[in-house]
Amino acid sequence: MSILDVFSRVWRPYEAVLGRVPGMAGYHDSRVNPTAAHLPGLVIYRFDGPLFFANANTFRDKVLQLAGSDPLPTWVLVAAEPITDVDTTAADMLEDLDLKLNESGTSLVFRKSSSDSPRIEA
């Protein structure tokens, strides 16, 4: 059962759209905090797992869904702290995804936090 649980979490990791919550530092999951504010033209997306062949399409589909939201974002920022690994299949997907988004006027950006920048939290 433990192995199945691990596979399930890696295959379909937790994902969240993040926003600013009044009175709380950092960025937080909009499902947990429905009052979270979002900057116009920007979607912040967190994918809580490594990117590899088994979940690359899940990631791609979600990013395309977010990029197609109304109003259309200029930027999709991936809060990449939890993405600990990217295999070659996922790397190929990311290249194709970036090209597709660029054609529609949306930029795909990845951000890893550093100790001197604001934390992005759940």
Residue 116 has pLDDT above 50, yes or no: no
Q: What pLDDT shows up at residue 45?
A: 97
pLDDT, one tens digit per residue, over 4-33 is: 776 676 678 999 999 999 999 999 999 999
| Closest to 120 measured CA to CA, from 33, 41, 55 | 33
Tell me: domain 2-111, CATH 3.30.750.24, correct? Answer: yes
Domain positions in the chain are 2-111
Task: Kindly report the pTM of this predicted structure.
Answer: 0.85
Residues with Cβ within 8 Å of residue 15, at least 6 apart in sequence: 45, 46, 47, 48, 62
pLDDT, one tens digit per residue, over 51-97 is: 999 999 999 999 999 999 989 999 999 999 999 999 999 999 999 99
Judged on CB neighbours under 10 Å (0-12, 13-18, 19+), 61 is exposed
| Closest to 73 measured CA to CA, from 97, 108, 117, 49 | 108
Rounding to the nearest 10 degrees, give the CA dihedral for residues 54, 82, 90, 64.
Answer: 90
